[in-house]
Structure formats: structure tokens, C-alpha cells
Structure 1
């Protein structure tokens, strides 16, 4: 296949059935590998969608500037798309950003500002304050605002969902890690129309306030947020599954060692939730979206020293999640149950 430019390679990512990570009850979990996009994540789709819409509306003019807050993947997407289209890109991030992400965007000539002082809810609000400052300094610059821009969920409703239906015309449940809310909301909008009986599960990290639970810190990257983003359309989400750091990291590592899938931490959370759902629903078919590649996190998720310094490896070992059998046992009895959004919120472990 010959493409006119790198942007034509965004999308059409593979769907892979898990083999060893199976509950053995006739259910199956398939993973949509968004890390196969050219920038390595699901955010390639959203970034291209938001930039294209801004070009059409006149918000982004030829040779213009793009400014955004990001913890990683959207920044990578904006960096390579900006380079391909001739835009100046300025990113605002924080010390939790993976070093590999900073190296990636630097290769495209992207400017990076690192916010080093958090507030009581972490770095996300200080990052947005820095974006506002930079927008004042750069009149006419375009801010994608991934948390609220309708182009973020819109591309998944218009493109990703139909890709998935072409590959798998019928399935029982969709599991997505929740960050900005973009891909879960967009996919759910279309899939609930086409598959009325589908169950949509939001895999969120314990400590995230996306669904109104009390905020506290966590170690996984790529999911969780300190507030409810505008692009998270909660009426489209049937169940929320709060995932602990040990559950998510352990699954990420075993996907590499048992399935040959090098994926990120948010994928680990989504797949652990999918396995738990599969255990409770024998014979069902579940699709878990893998937001990015594990190449982003080689020095963190797959580094025993990094995990030990943060107490995560100790949690994995204490819960017996460091083997295939142990992980599957953990999925049969996860630390937190699936939660219906109309229920009184329980205390999370």
C-alpha cells in the first residue's frame, strides 16, 4: 500500500484474540491494538480529527501554532502530525511523563514546558494554567482541549467503531480505559446504536475522580483524571471497574510475557477488567481497547527497580499477580467489583 503521507496510515489497527490470558469458561477477550498507529497510540486519531476540524473552521491557519497539555500520547500525536503539516507545536507536561515521550516529541522539533509544582489534585490543573499563559503569549494559537473537544470522541464514533464492526460484527462487551473519555464515549455512541445489547465498561484507576470517586494519587499512566472531563459521556457507560495499580501493572507485564503483546499500562487495566468481566459472563465475547504501545514505558512498567521504588512490585507479589495462574485468580476475585453508575458509590480498596 502506497500512502500520500504519514497521516494516511492512521487507523485500521489490528484486533488480536488473547490465548493464554483466558478464563477457560468459553468466553474470549480480543484486544484492539491502537499502538499500531504511526504515533503509537489511540490519540493519533483524536489529534488528527481535532486538527482537521480546526483547519476547516479557520481556528488553525497555515504555519500556525498548536499548544496543548498532555501526559504523553496526545503530545506524540500532535508532534508528528504538526511536523507533517508544518505547524509549530508547544506541549505542556509534568514530571510523570515518560522519558521516551519527551525524546519522541523532541525528534520532531516540538517545544516542551514541564510544570513541576502540583496542586492538591496533582499536575493536571497547573498544566492547564500554563497552557492559558502560553496562549496569551502566542495570539492566534490553537488549543485542541482534548478533554472537551467534540472531535476527540467524534472520530471514534465515525471511524474507530465502524472499523471494529467490520472486524467483529457482533460482540457482548466493550472495555475501555478512561482518561479524557474520548474513545469510550465515541465508541459507545455508535456501538450502542448498532449493538443495542452491548455492555460498555469503563476501566478506571483507583484514585481517579472521573466518575466522581474521591481523588488520590496513582502510578499508572494513560488513564485517570482529577475531575470529570467534558468528553466523558457517562450515560453511555454501563459499568465502571476501578483497577488498582498492582492489577494494571501485573496484567501489562504478563501480556508481554504470555501473549507477546508489548502494551501500555492503561491496556493492562482494560484487559484485567475484561478478564474479570469474562469470568462473570461465560461464553461472552469482550473487546478491550489497547490505547498505546508498551514501548512508551520500557523504563517504568517493565523495570523492577522503578516499580519497587513506588511500592507497586511489592503489591503485585503480595497479591500473587506475578504469574499467569495468579493473575487469572485475581481476575476471578478483583479488588473492586463492577459498579453501576446509578448505585451509591462504595468504598474502593
Structure 2
């Protein structure tokens, strides 16, 4: 397929999945000390999410191994982004797809899966019920065992991490050896650790920093409910095998208020619309930029955009109802930007 030498995507695509990859880097700021914070904007993938990369890889490897036959049935427990990717790919390849979900998932993600013909199975009854990761996975596993569906099992599937090898190649092609920090949200662990595994042999001094919600248990501490979607390991759920602590230099936590108010701040002040969990990583990245050695390059994996969260994170009434509006986060971010790059604070 013909490609421009500077592009990873075809000039004329034959399938929607041909458009996966080649996502841009955006410089959020360069500090007065020469440190850059760069955003790998994965919302430029189809479905606005990085997870379509690993969804494709999981299906590719299952087909190559003979575990998924033409016309087969795919099932996955998902909070939304993986499910959207699998739903698109199932429609493209002619598979039946069942998504096991809970009411913690964003409504627009659920609607998108249905639009592609996916079947949704809920593990809890009422819209007010929350995150139920372990229940979702138990149901997906049981259906796969009893009815012969192929369970992609994203939390423990090596293909998940393999799907992000291309992210590492794209970063190396653009930035070369100047990367000093790689930061990302940790849910299944695929995006951060799959990228880091490819980069570490090339950049041994690269510092890999994971971010999870307060209330998630992967980095220790007590479990508690949280609203950040598609990230973290809730209490009672198993930490997936893709969370590779041998590659992790530092694990940080971020509250829902810090994550969501950062996402809102970046939209209003810098015209960057990112998802709630990405807001949490960016909050910690800006704090890291304050302490980083001069001329560092901090790459933040922004795994999805904010369009799916207009009725939650970016809705004042929803934020107020969940007691998450916190003007002090805006004040803190203003102070960070003024300290890091005087004159960059926008009214």
C-alpha cells in the first residue's frame, strides 16, 4: 500500500483500521530551564483512543494462533475504550462482539459500541452502580468457557502490550535519544509498559513514571471508589500481569479532583481536550517538570480525548454533584505555569 515517506498511515486507506497509528506530538510547554512537556495525542486514532492499537494486536495474534476463526465470537470485559476498538474491528472483520460492562463506563462509549453492532452485557443493575471490574471479568471468562467465545482478556494478554511497540517506534523516529521521562496512566499496564519495554533497551536512563487514581491498589495504599475511567486497579480486582514493576521507576497517585480539574483547565486555557485520566497524568507531569533536570524531555501518553466526557468531567452540574469542582487546582496550575514558563498563563 502506497505511503508517504513521512507517514505511517497510507495516503488512501482501504480499511478504517489502516488509520491506526502515526499520532502527533504536541508541545504543551517548554520551561525557562529548557525542559519540554510533550503530549502523545492518541485521540487521533480511530475511536479517539490508544486502546484500538492493542485491540487490533489482540485480534491479529489470536487469528495467527488459530484461536479466532472467521465468523467467530469475541468477548471482553471493558470500561469502554478497549470495547470501542474491538467493536470497530469486529464489524470490519465480521466477528460477533460482546462487551461485558458496568455503569461506571461512559455513556458515549457504550453508545459507540452499540453503533458497531456490539452486544452489551451489564453486571450491575442500576445506573448509579459503580465500577465492577472483577465481576465483569468473571462473567466474560464464564461465557468464554461455556459458550466457546474468544476472551481477549486484556489485563493478562501479552498482545495488549505488544500493540504499543509502534508507539515506541514513533517516539524514537521523532525524538530520538532526547527523551528523559515517559509518563502514562496505569490500568491494564499495556500502554505504558508496552511502550517502555521497547524504549528501555534503546534509552537505558529513561525514567518511566506511572500514574493511577487515589483508591487504586497497584502502587499500594488502601482501596477506595474513584471516578477516573479506564485506569487503575480497584480494590478486589487482580493486578494484571502486564503491570511490569521491573520497568517502573516511580508510581504516583492522583485524585479525581486533581485529574478532572486539570483536564478542564487545559481545555479552557490551552485548547487541549483530553480525558479525565489523562488530566491526572498531565497534573503529575507538570509537577515533574518543576523538579526535572534542565533540558529534560517529558513525554506524556495521552490515551484518549475529552469528547467522551462532555457530560461528566466537562459538565459543571456533574462535577458539582460529585463534589469534584476545586478552584484550588486551577490556582495551583496557574502557579506551575507561571513558575515554569512565565507569561504562559492565560486568563
- TM-score normalised to structure 2 length: 0.88
| Counterpart among 96, 102, 105 of residue 94 in structure 1 | 102
Q: Which moved more, 1:62-71 or 1:158-167?
A: 158-167
Partner of 1:239: 250
Aligned-pair CA distance for 1:327: 6.1
- Report Cα offsets for 1:265-293 as digits up to 9, x if no partner: 12111111111111001431100000001
Partner of 1:277: 288
Partner of 1:338: none
Q: Does 1:300 align with 2:312?
A: yes
Q: Alignment partner of 1:90: what SS?
A: strand
Partner of 1:339: none
Partner of 2:170: 163
- TM-score normalised to structure 1 length: 0.88
- Count the aligned residue pairs: 322
Q: Does 1:133 align with 2:145?
A: no
Aligned-pair CA distance for 1:250: 1.3
CA RMSD after TM alignment: 2.0
Distance 1:115 1:17 in 2: 41
Distance 2:75 2:315 in 1: 32
8 Å CA contact 1:254, 1:323 repeated in 2: no
Aligned-pair CA distance for 1:23: 5.2
Q: Does 1:199 align with 2:207?
A: yes
Q: Does 1:68 align with 2:76?
A: yes
Q: Alignment partner of 1:194: what SS?
A: coil
Aligned-pair CA distance for 1:122: 4.6
| Structure 1 portions without partners, runs of 5+ | 332-349
Distance 1:129 1:330 in 2: 48
Distance 1:275 1:182 in 2: 23
8 Å CA contact 2:208, 2:249 repeated in 1: yes
Q: Does 1:216 align with 2:228?
A: no
Partner of 1:335: none
| Structure 2 portions without partners, runs of 5+ | 1-10, 341-347
Q: Does 1:288 align with 2:295?
A: no
Moved over 6 A (4+): none
